[in-house]
Amino acid sequence: MSKQAYKVCCCFQRRFKFKEAEAPDEIKALFRIYSENGVMTIEHLHKFLKEVQGEDEITMEQAESVMESIIKELKHLHVLHRKVLNLEAFFGYLFTDTINYPLISANKVHQDMTAPLSHYFIYTSHNSYLTGNQISSDCSDLPIIKALEQGVRVIELDMWPNSNKDNVDIYHGRTLTTPVDLIKCLNSIRKHAFVASEFPVILTLEDHLTPDLQAKVAEMVTQAFGDVLFCSSSECLLDFPSPESLKRRIIISTKPPKEYLETKSIKEKDDHSQKVKTSSEEAAWGREVSDIADHLKTYNEKEPDEGKYQDEEDTRDDSQHFQENAAPEYKNLIAIHARKRKGGIKDWLKIDPNNVTRISLGEEKFEKAVLSHGADIVRFTQRNLLRIFPKAMRLDSSNYNPLIGWTHGAQMVALNMQGFGRYLWLMQGMFRANGGCGYVKKPDILLQVGPNNEVFDPRRSLPVKKTLKVKVYMGEGWNLDFHQSHFDTYSPPDFYVKVGIAGVSADSLVKKTKVVEDNWIPTWNEEFEFQLTVPELALLRIEVHEYDMSAKDDFGGQTCLPVSELKKGIRSVPLYNEKGDKYKSVKLLMRFDFV
């Protein structure tokens, strides 16, 4: 036990005892049950993994492999040469996330990857080249590289003529963003596309080019991607290919090219863009994840006007322009055709039994459509791709609630990856599933059609399917990853944990622990229950905050975990910073059970 000194003034210091992490009483009791004379053998560990950790099918050989991993990882504890654990090593194992990770898919793809692309949620970025805000930040290939290394599978590029009109730049058109060369972005995509995942990368292009420059793009794309580029022999696909069949391929998806320099305007009419006073917590980490039903009530006052569902991108029908003027070699690159939307909602949600397509919708137009045509959207996304993107008024690169899209089957819910906040944390949590490969199989409820042609309705009241019990034992690592005075200048931090569910409206709930004062290694020992009607679409939200009486609470870490992949038992839960980067040392010890 050591002492920590905090200087209060030049002549006075406050001293606090610093304790090393100690196993909670419940962990000590479990060790006594699954050991003998203070020693846990492979046989004891095997029994513990089956009975407590819920690993029913684990073999003795696999238990031995776990034991070897523990001894290798915790060699500094001087475990006996024979394969056994003492209490210290057992506790160390439980708190080691590399061995005792909370998800079943730790770096391992386990879902069926042979279904059509439309059967998957796909990790999608918006304006992937921006380093900051939507108006004046630099454009670069670096955020594209980072996104790909994090498992993002859909990259968006806005293509414009350069200042000399003889080459192609990537930037956010008619803003002050500084451009980056298209070829630089293409080469970086090719180099980093399959670092994190071998499943296909979809490149969505927003095109503001002349036919001559389109031909130049075709040449650059072909040169940069070579045999990795997937080209379809037909514009009409009866169904999309599967992620498995498209491994290590890059796919181009775009709408028919626009007339030269046509663009969406950042002056999009926005009835809900008025500034709302936010709390200090919202300013720091983004709005609290709102109940979906409450959020959508915003649009209930005025029924959507079917005639106003065209985006600013679709202000004219230029399909004839495409056929007559577009460079044919450019047109031939497009493997996933994005359909022009004409008329009202019912028109663009019509399902063609002989052809699949992709459409794009801004977040507000999508949310309005959900109110009156939610079932049609679910039916459409069972075969076709739907991309949702942030409204133009999000100049600060903030985001919207991706669950509204996911609960209606939208595959490509595009978020601004260069920012941070709770909605981006949900996105990161969703795609921790399935080994972090960037493709997550949609649950069967979104793919089924009932005997009366009914489909899943996320607003419908359903019976409770599962109850998730979550226990928060303790946390550690802040003293290693943060300066002594980071949280409080004059004393150790006062941590508490927020635990909640983000999912369909009926399941969304947030609870929190008590505040543990003046402790770098807080112990809470608190349990919470969450009744889940649609666990397939639920995400477990975990945030640690440091209580501050006089100012906003400080941020102490966060993570988000797909409930469908949670491992039963006592698990080490690593935490991440505001931007989603994993801390070196900060983690929680938690227990998960389903009843």
Q: How many residues does this entry show for the chain?
A: 595
Annotated catalytic residue 126: yes
Quickly count: other Cβ atoms within 10 Å of residue 529's Cβ. 12
Residue type, 283: A
Burial 239-269, CB ≥16 within 10 A → b, else e: ebbbbeebeebbbbbbbbbbeeeebbebeee
How far is it, in rounded angstroms, from Cα 535 to Cα 163? 52
Measured distance between the N- and C-terminal CA atoms of the chain, rounded to whole angstroms: 40
Are 201 and 224 spatial neighbours (Cβ–Cβ below 8 Å)?
no
Name the active-site residue from 44, 46, 119, 172: 172
Q: Is 421 left (phi over 0), alpha (psi -120 to 50) or beta?
A: left
Q: How far is CA 9 from CA 322, 446, 490, in A?
A: 73, 62, 9
Q: Decide: helix, strand or coil at residue 284.
A: helix
How far is it, in rounded angstroms, from Cα 481 to Cα 506? 37
- Tokens at 228, concatenated: 């990795």
Annotated catalytic residue 321: no
Give the bridge partners for 387, in sequence order.
360, 412
- Tokens at 310, concatenated: 């065209």
- Tokens at 567, concatenated: 């491992």
How far is it, in rounded angstroms, from Cα 97 to Cα 103? 10
Between helix 87-94 and helix 60-73 the angle, nearest 10°, is 100
How far is it, in rounded angstroms, from Cα 217 to Cα 229? 14
Q: Which residues are CB-neighbours of 208 under 8 A, at least 6 positions away?
A: 158, 159, 160, 161, 173, 258, 260, 261, 262, 263
Q: How far is CA 329 from CA 75, 214, 378, in A?
A: 60, 8, 35
Residue type, 554: D
How far is it, in rounded angstroms, from Cα 582 to Cα 587? 10
Quickly count: other Cβ atoms within 10 Å of residue 364's Cβ. 22
Q: How far is CA 217 from CA 193, 225, 419, in A?
A: 19, 12, 29
Name the active-site residue from 126, 208, 373, 545: 126
Are 568 and 555 spatial neighbours (Cβ–Cβ below 8 Å)?
no
Q: Decide: helix, strand or coil at residue 127.
A: coil
Closest CA to 555 of 513, 514, 495: 495
Give the bridge partners for 543, in sequence order.
498, 558
- Tokens at 510, concatenated: 């947030």
| Four-residue CA torsion sign, 251, 253, 259, 260 | negative
**Which residues are marked as active site?**
126, 172
